[in-house]
Amino acid sequence: MAESNHSETAQDPSKSEMELLNARILNDFIDKRITMVREDSIFEGECRSMDGYLNTVLENATFKNKENGASMSLKTCFVIGNSVKHISILK
C-alpha cells in the first residue's frame, strides 16, 4: 500500500489562499458594531481595525468589567487580542 502525503493533495488550500480567506473574515468586522468578550471584560463598539492577532481598535465603545460590573464609555480604545474569547457582530 502506497503512503500518501496529505500536504500534497489538490484539496489543501495554499498558504496564500488561507491568508486571503483570513483577511476576508477579518474585513467582515470592519465598520460594524461588535462585541468582544474577554476573560475579565466585555467591549462593545464600532470596529475600525483588526489584525490577525485580533488586536482591535474600537470607536464609541463601552467597556464593562465582569468582576465588579463597572462600566465606562470610551471614544476610542485598543483591545489586545490575545485573551479574546469571542467576537460577534451586533445587528
Q: How high is the pLDDT of residue 32?
A: 97
Question: Of 55, 75, 54, 72, nearest to 64 (Cα)?
Answer: 72
Q: How high is the pLDDT of residue 10?
A: 54
Q: How far is CA 16 from the centre of its chain?
A: 20
- Domain span at residue 82 reads 32-91
| Residue 44 counted as domain residue | yes
| Residue 87 counted as domain residue | yes
Q: HSE-up of 37 (CA within 13 Å, CB side)?
A: 7
| Residue 10 counted as domain residue | no
Total domains in the chain come to: 1
CATH code where residue 90 lies: 2.30.30.100
What distance in Å separates the CA atoms of residue 18 and residue 12, rounded to the nearest whole number? 10
| Residue 62 counted as domain residue | yes
Report the 10 Å Cβ neighbour count for 26.
17
pLDDT in tens, the chain (91 residues): 454 455 555 567 787 777 777 788 888 999 999 999 999 999 999 999 999 889 999 999 999 999 999 999 999 999 999 999 999 999 8
| Residue 1 counted as domain residue | no
| Residue 25 counted as domain residue | no
